[in-house]
Amino acid sequence: MSELAISAAPANRYDPVSILLHWLVALLVVVQFALGELWDFFPRPVHHLMVVTHMSFGVILTAVLLCRLVWRFVLGHEVEDFTSGLIRVASRSMHYLLYALLIIQAVLGFLWPWTESHALNFFGLAIPSPFGAFSKATNDTVSELHDINAWVIIVLAGGHAAAALAHHFILRDRILSLMLPARWDRG
Ligand code: HEM
Ligand code: HEM
């Protein structure tokens, strides 16, 4: 069966599309966090460029995330379980939690400028708010939640990355190599 077809059974390793989408999401999350936490240290023109880059990459991250979710949950590109018991429950829960928090972060990211009645700037293209005006309190809540959620995502993703590295270097199993090109697979 072609790799693009809906898989009937979980695969033995992640397919190239899943691998590409995973590392794109990971890279964009780290870049987004760095931009958002660092732009206050830069003078005005650079600061503005960083904010616009963050918004633009945010739209791209949302699109990549949606592709990842459709590929995984609608088209069924899944991987069989290589762990069992508590480790399996913990890793599955972490993956679902990361997906949920990323979706929430994307929604909050769009709502941040829109609840201020500003357009979202996508590489110079203005994406206007589909809503009317919101109170200042609503906008403050949205921005606060986006900021807190950014930290939660980074801490959890850090733990998730540490677990993947522990599998690779301490337990010396195949888990990390499942998410790498086939030539590095330890299986
Ligand atoms: C996981 C992904 C993301 C992370 C880690 C992240 C992180 C951050 C951080 C740390 C800030 C600064 C908060 C502050 O200054 O208090 C911020 C601001 C912002 N983010 Fe994100 N963000 C993400 C995704 C998105 C997405 C998907 C969008 C929109 C499509 C977005 C739009 C914005 C906007 C509009 C601001 C405010 C910019 C301003 O000060 O005017 N973010 N983000
Ligand atoms: C911000 C960064 C990251 C995010 C948001 C993220 C998110 C995810 C998610 C949601 C999955 C589940 C995939 C699925 O089955 O649908 C996953 C799997 C995986 N990730 Fe990440 N990840 C990040 C960074 C990393 C890093 C840095 C590493 C390695 C050091 C890593 C290694 C892995 C591995 C090995 C798997 C497969 C685990 C398994 O199937 O049990 N990830 N990641």
DSSP string, 8-59: SS-BSS--HHHHHHHHHHHHHHHHHHHHHHHGGGS-HHHHHHHHHHHHHHHH
Please tell me which residue, 7 or 47, carries the higher pLDDT value: 47
Q: How many CB atoms are closer than 10 A to CB 35?
A: 18
pLDDT at 1: 40
Output the ligand 2 site: residues, CB below 6 A. Answer: 22, 25-26, 29-30, 72, 79, 91, 95, 98-99, 157, 160-161, 164-165, 175-176, 178-179
Q: How much is the pTM?
A: 0.93
d(CA 22, ligand 2 centre) in Å: 6
Residues 137 and 130: beta-carbon distance below 8 Å: no
pLDDT at 81: 85
At 122-135, the pLDDT tens digits run 999 999 999 988 99
Give the position, in ligand 1's atom list, of the atom nearest the Cα of 150: 5
Query: Can you read off the two tokens belonging to residue 120?
Result: 């979202």
For the domain covering 16-184, report its CATH number: 1.20.950.20
Distance CA 2, CA 77 (A): 12
5 pLDDT higher than 60: no
The stretch 33-41 carries a mean pLDDT of: 98
Domain residue spans in the chain? 16-184
**DSSP 8-state symbol, 74:** I
3 pLDDT higher than 90: no
